[in-house]
Amino acid sequence: MDGDTGMDGDTGRDGDTGGDGGTGRAREREMRERRTAALRGCDRVLSQGRPRTVRERLAELAALADRPDTGGGDWGLDGPPDVYGDGPVDRLERRTAELLGFEDAVFFPTGTMAQQAVLRCWAERTGSRTVAMHPLAHPEVHERDAYAVLSGLRSVHPTTAPRLPTAAEVQGLDEPFGTLMLELPLRDAGFVLPTWDELCAAVDAGRGREAVVHVDGARLWETTAHFGRTLPEIAGLADSVYVSFYKSLGGLSGAAVACPAEVGAQCRAWRHRYGGQLFQQWPTVLSALLGLERELPRLPEYAAHARVVAAALGGAFAGMPGAVVHPDPPHTHQFRLWLPYPAGMLEEAGLLLAEETGRALFGGWREGPVPGLSVTEVTVAASALEWSAEEVAESAAGLLERLARA
């Protein structure tokens, strides 16, 4: 959601750049500029890909105008821009509802706003402002408690284990709740997913508690390979689903809530109240439609190659105390890597590798809960498909050499 781009370029949770104020922000800005320059100069980038300039993003959208298939239909480039949610926005909403198998979908400029609105709608409908969610769920970790501060909701936690809650944990929760929210995948536990049977059982347990089920599916697009099910089958387990258009699809920003028509109408009312009824949003909408066309079909391929990359990294760092690939194998095209070095050393070694060899392995690193142990998030997308397992292992060895220098 807002500001959550993963550790590859992340500024930290809730925008926190450290306790030293302007000095910390200046250091972060300097490091980000150096990282961007290094990545743009690379021949190969493993995680997330080479950063693009504003000019490149504009050219990508402008190229749509020259395609023969974008004059009408789902693109509508020959029509007028949207005005307060019609035109292109309406097209994206209908396309999203179709892909997820719902009656309606409502576009929001941010995911924080999207989930806050739909959770508030369910609270008004169920008569309960209590939401059962994981303590690592995105609203708890990355949104400054907006659901509580602005919407008057409260949370209860079925489990604190770094995984989705089980059916028994949902059934055994010692407080009543009106909404069960499941994040698929659970990003801050390492992009982890339950099995299909475990997911169905947890959903049934929520309904057994007379709760509605909402899925935080910011990255739901990438779960089909793991579950072996279609998007409508996965989304159909829930009463509503939130999806992001930039986290897996590469859009500029934006999100949507797929839901029944009457809930969609209520979400639109709250979207207006929360300030999300923007005058025009067609660049964001076009980038989302492009992502649905271009990236969505490739996500299973990315997920398959993530297993290759994770295995190569696991082999390269095998025997190193504290080195962990998690989950192993990955559940989606994203996973975490833990290494027993301070984050600053890993950042410097990675930049040296990129600057000296033209190959970049990882983005940003973050200190873990144990001093000297750091974590990065690896996103396997189009640029990573160029990497063989042998090349990943070779560059990992190069990183270790530069760690000695760093």
pLDDT in tens, 209-237: 999 999 999 999 999 999 999 999 999 99
Which domains, ranges and CATH numbers included, belong to the chain?
21-51+297-405 (3.90.1150.10), 73-294 (3.40.640.10)
Q: pLDDT value at position 155?
A: 98
Q: pLDDT value at position 20?
A: 57
pLDDT in tens, 44-83: 999 988 889 999 999 999 998 888 888 666 788 888 999 9
DSSP type of residue 166: P
- Structure token pair of residue 233: 């089958």
Strands, E assignment, 48-178: 104-108, 130-132, 154-156
The residues, any chain, with a CB within 8 Å of residue 190's CB and separated by 6 or more, are 162, 326, 327, 335, 336
Among 126, 109, 204, smallest CA distance to 165 is for 204
- Say how many residues make up the chain: 406
Q: Which residue, chain included where needed, has tokens 């279609």?
A: 230
- The CA distance from 48 to 36, in Å, is 12
Alpha helices in 182-247 (DSSP H): 196-208, 224-227, 231-235
Q: 3-class DSSP state for residue 32? A: helix
Q: pLDDT value at position 319?
A: 87
Q: pLDDT value at position 18?
A: 41
The residues, any chain, with a CB within 8 Å of residue 37's CB and separated by 6 or more, are none
By the 8 A CB rule, do 266 and 103 touch?
no
β 374-379/334-339 pair status: antiparallel
- The CA distance from 199 to 177, in Å, is 19
Mean pLDDT over each residue of the chain, to the nearest integer: 92
Residues of the chain with pLDDT under 70: 1-21, 71-73
- Structure token pair of residue 48: 């997330």
Q: pLDDT value at position 11?
A: 34
